[in-house]
Structure 1
Amino acid sequence: MLSGRRLFFLSCLSICVAGTVAARAEEKRVVRDMTGAEATVPAHPERIADLWFAHNEVLAMLGAANRIVVTADRPSGQPWLFRLNPALSKARFVMPGSASPEALLADGVDLVFVSAGLTQAGPLRAAGLSVLDMTFQDVQGLLKSVALTADVLNDPVARERAAEYRSELEAELDCFRKTLSSLKEDQKPRVLHVMSLSPLMIDGADTIIDQWIRYAGGRNAAASVSGGKKPVTMEQIQAWDPDVIIVQGGLPLPRPETAPAGWSGLRAVRQGRVLANPAGAFPWDRYGSEFLLQLRWAGMQLHPDLFGHYDLKGEMKAFYRTYFGSDVSDEDISRILTGQPPA
């Protein structure tokens, strides 16, 4: 049996620990989200609701997948994200825009990440939740989002990974600028990025897709259109007649019997330059942290004479080990590169 003194000591220790945990939970600080809005957030957030598909990958990259208790992602939509981060399977799924403030509070959520185009922050803030809008449209926004997330997580691992990611991406962008500096405009292939085949939707200017096309030495065939996920007609695509067509990661390439009418007559189709974009923890070609790999892949596709030396498979292994703490096999790499889910 424990002595009275021992029981008294354990009781005091328990009270002290509980008090420390409670005090830690009550610590707050003020930050500005991606829109510039001020938000009061926990100094050490532990139970996070992430209601933007792309941002779940950022949290996972920074080592915080185990803090996500509510997510907009699910295994059927982002199978590699869940494969690389098994802890995410414990989170409750909710569709963006339909998240109930009462349910989030019942989940014990202490921080919510949203994208304004999917979930309005106002009602959640009105319910007393700490909310950060993480929306961005370009590479600088991506880097700012990663840095802000690491700062809010207030964790040394997150800060270290965010700093390393910024350094690596900025060095890569500089390398691409220097390598392509002597390239004339007519030496850059015209690239069309197809977001959906049915209905036909493309990504135009003022998007991160437009940026990686240009950074990789291409010209966006749809540069006259502003914004992403824009509906178009086949007649418009025929007028553009791109040199290269890149179909969003995770979508199957059209077969002759399933292709839209007029597809087979396009220059890129005739010349065999229709490419399926890789898809990993998130589609590489959209608003995720695998932008770094997307840039390297796109450079190899558009200018193999300049970027064919990349050991992309080796770099993929290093990327997922460094930023996700996961080892991927050769089979995994092959499946990611072809936009397939895990075996």
Structure 2
Amino acid sequence: MEFRRLYVLFTVILLCILVTSVCAGTDSLKQSGSTHTITDMAGAEVTIPTSITKVVNLWPASNSVMLCMGAGDLLAGTMDITKQNYWSQLVYPNIVNVPTVSDNAEELMKINPDLIITPSKETAEKLRGLGLPAVYLYFSDYDSMKKAFTLLGDILGGDYVNKAKKWSDLVDSQTTTVKSSIGDISESDRPVVYYIQGQTNQGLYTTFAAKSIMNDWISIAGGEFASKKLELDKNGAVTPEAILSLNPDIIIIGGFAEHDLYNELMNSSEWKDIKAVKNNRVYINPNGLFPWERFGMESALQIPFAASVIHPDLFKVNLVDEVKKFYTDFVGIDLTDKQAQYMIDGYGPNGEEYKNTGSSHPHS
């Protein structure tokens, strides 16, 4: 009998401990579960809701990332360039109804977002000073994209965490595959690649600086970036004398004005004797939710594309299949072969051509 009483007493005490622990755990989740503190890319600590449902995104590049992650329904404020993009409209048809916003605090307070994303440290600080949950999120190459997408995935939570990790793994695997295919090419044997920046039509002599993502994918793909050879230290114009005397082997044109620029280049008497033109090695860069060659999730596909045009004898790829698989895995939609080819050719999903539209946004 004594044993039975002790056994019952022990069981009751154990149950009380378990119940108390569960209740305490639940209270803890309520306290810390409604908000949490994250550290943005400037090192600022920002308190935001644990469950994010309304995001204002003040940068076209990171708007494209959210759409590529399948997070379009979280956008409560976006940019005109995102709304005008034909691929944005395919991926998230309601994008045309999302308000176009700026960093105007009064306007943002009316939206009352859970999160504001900006590529400007100053804007983030200004908005936080007014009580708005602004985070600095900026990326300009593959390494900073890995960090930024990981942070964005952690902020949004759920499957977005997995997609960010999957994207980083894809970039690594694409890089490994390309490098193993083309082998170790000496600098002297690397074809010189000139990139024309065509977000808007600023002519044939606008490019990116030597230290940019263009150098990243050109180098991975076994080329030599013209801006590196010319030691350009900032984005913008290069002199005609400099680039024409360099006589690039390959020219890649990107951005919304790429087709206009291509036609301009191919009809220019000034360029007709350049090796890239004479040898028919002028290429339009693929253009999806964002230009592949710039910064966005589709930039993972830029690596095999670049290798296929810089070293077509060494690297073969079925880009249509690559595009379709990427969109299934990340965006969650199945593209047709025709749609994938349109993207590769720099058009919209129904063959639409961008009529020299683009953004003058400093970070676009």
**TM-score computed with the length of structure 2 as normaliser:** 0.80
User: How far apart are the structure 1 equivalents of 2:104 and 2:76?
Assistant: 14
User: How far apart are the structure 1 equivalents of 2:92 and 2:32?
Assistant: 25
- What is the RMSD computed on CA atoms of the aligned residues? 2.3
- Cα pair 2:285 2:292 within 8 Å, conserved: yes
Seen in structure 2, the aligned counterparts of structure 1 residues 76 and 264 have a Cα distance that, compared at 3 Å, is farther
Name 1:330's counterpart in structure 2: 337
Name 1:342's counterpart in structure 2: 349
User: How far apart are the structure 1 equivalents of 2:318 and 2:114?
Assistant: 42
1:142 pairs with 2:145: yes
- Cα pair 1:49 1:71 within 8 Å, conserved: yes
Name 2:248's counterpart in structure 1: 242
Amino acid of the residue matched to residue 314 of structure 1? D
1:161 pairs with 2:168: no
- Cα pair 1:190 1:219 within 8 Å, conserved: yes
Amino acid of the residue matched to residue 76 of structure 2? V
Seen in structure 2, the aligned counterparts of structure 1 residues 52 and 265 have a Cα distance that, compared at 3 Å, is same
Seen in structure 2, the aligned counterparts of structure 1 residues 145 and 305 have a Cα distance that, compared at 3 Å, is same
1:271 pairs with 2:279: yes
1:220 pairs with 2:225: yes
Q: Give, in angstroms, the shift of residue 198 of structure 1.
A: 2.6
Q: Choose 43-52 or 232-241, whichever is displaced more.
A: 232-241
Identity %: 28
What SS is found at the alignment partner of 1:93? coil
Seen in structure 2, the aligned counterparts of structure 1 residues 126 and 26 have a Cα distance that, compared at 3 Å, is farther
User: How far apart are the structure 2 equivalents of 1:56 and 1:148?
Assistant: 15
Name 1:109's counterpart in structure 2: 113
1:211 pairs with 2:222: no
Q: Choose 46-55 or 162-171, whichever is displaced more.
A: 162-171
Q: Give, in angstroms, the shift of residue 29 of structure 1.
A: 1.6
User: How far apart are the structure 2 equivalents of 1:319 and 1:69?
Assistant: 26
> What does the per-residue CA deviation read over 1:251-285, in whole Å, with 9 as the maximum and x for residues that have no partner?
21433588566222322112211111010111101
Name 2:104's counterpart in structure 1: 100
Seen in structure 2, the aligned counterparts of structure 1 residues 55 and 76 have a Cα distance that, compared at 3 Å, is closer
Seen in structure 2, the aligned counterparts of structure 1 residues 276 and 35 have a Cα distance that, compared at 3 Å, is same
Seen in structure 2, the aligned counterparts of structure 1 residues 213 and 258 have a Cα distance that, compared at 3 Å, is closer
User: How far apart are the structure 1 equivalents of 2:41 and 2:117?
Assistant: 11
What SS is found at the alignment partner of 1:316? helix
Seen in structure 2, the aligned counterparts of structure 1 residues 25 and 327 have a Cα distance that, compared at 3 Å, is farther
What SS is found at the alignment partner of 2:38? strand
**TM-score computed with the length of structure 1 as normaliser:** 0.85
Name 2:87's counterpart in structure 1: 80
User: How far apart are the structure 2 equivalents of 1:32 and 1:76?
Assistant: 29
Q: Choose 260-269 or 293-302, whichever is displaced more.
A: 260-269
Q: Give, in angstroms, the shift of residue 247 of structure 1.
A: 0.5
What SS is found at the alignment partner of 1:132? strand
Q: Choose 168-177 or 268-277, whichever is displaced more.
A: 168-177
- Cα pair 1:217 1:299 within 8 Å, conserved: yes
- Cα pair 1:176 1:215 within 8 Å, conserved: yes
Amino acid of the residue matched to residue 343 of structure 2? I
Q: Give, in angstroms, the shift of residue 40 of structure 1.
A: 1.9
- Cα pair 1:74 1:93 within 8 Å, conserved: no
Question: Tell me, which stretches of 5 or more residues in structure 1 are unaligned?
Answer: 1-19
Q: Give, in angstroms, the shift of residue 204 of structure 1.
A: 2.3
Amino acid of the residue matched to residue 316 of structure 1? V
Q: Give, in angstroms, the shift of residue 221 of structure 1.
A: 0.9
- Cα pair 2:61 2:295 within 8 Å, conserved: yes
Seen in structure 2, the aligned counterparts of structure 1 residues 123 and 242 have a Cα distance that, compared at 3 Å, is same
Structure of higher CA gyration radius: 2
User: How far apart are the structure 2 equivalents of 1:144 and 1:211?
Assistant: 16
Q: Give, in angstroms, the shift of residue 128 of structure 1.
A: 0.9
Seen in structure 2, the aligned counterparts of structure 1 residues 76 and 146 have a Cα distance that, compared at 3 Å, is closer
Name 2:239's counterpart in structure 1: 233
- Cα pair 2:250 2:281 within 8 Å, conserved: yes
1:128 pairs with 2:131: yes
User: How far apart are the structure 2 equivalents of 1:194 and 1:24?
Assistant: 53
TM alignment of 1:14-93, pairs within 5 A = 27-74=34-81, 77-93=84-100
User: How far apart are the structure 1 equivalents of 2:179 and 2:349?
Assistant: 34
- Cα pair 1:222 1:240 within 8 Å, conserved: no
> What does the per-residue CA deviation read over 1:204-251, in whole Å, with 9 as the maximum and x for residues that have no partner?
2111111011111110011111243x1222222212221111001432
What SS is found at the alignment partner of 1:182? coil
User: How far apart are the structure 1 equivalents of 2:327 and 2:264?
Assistant: 36
> What does the per-residue CA deviation read over 1:105-139, in whole Å, with 9 as the maximum and x for residues that have no partner?
1012120111128x722221122111111112221
User: How far apart are the structure 1 equivalents of 2:146 and 2:59?
Assistant: 16
Q: Give, in angstroms, the shift of residue 87 of structure 1.
A: 3.5
- Cα pair 1:57 1:282 within 8 Å, conserved: yes
User: How far apart are the structure 1 equivalents of 2:165 and 2:33?
Assistant: 28
User: How far apart are the structure 2 equivalents of 1:99 and 1:303?
Assistant: 44
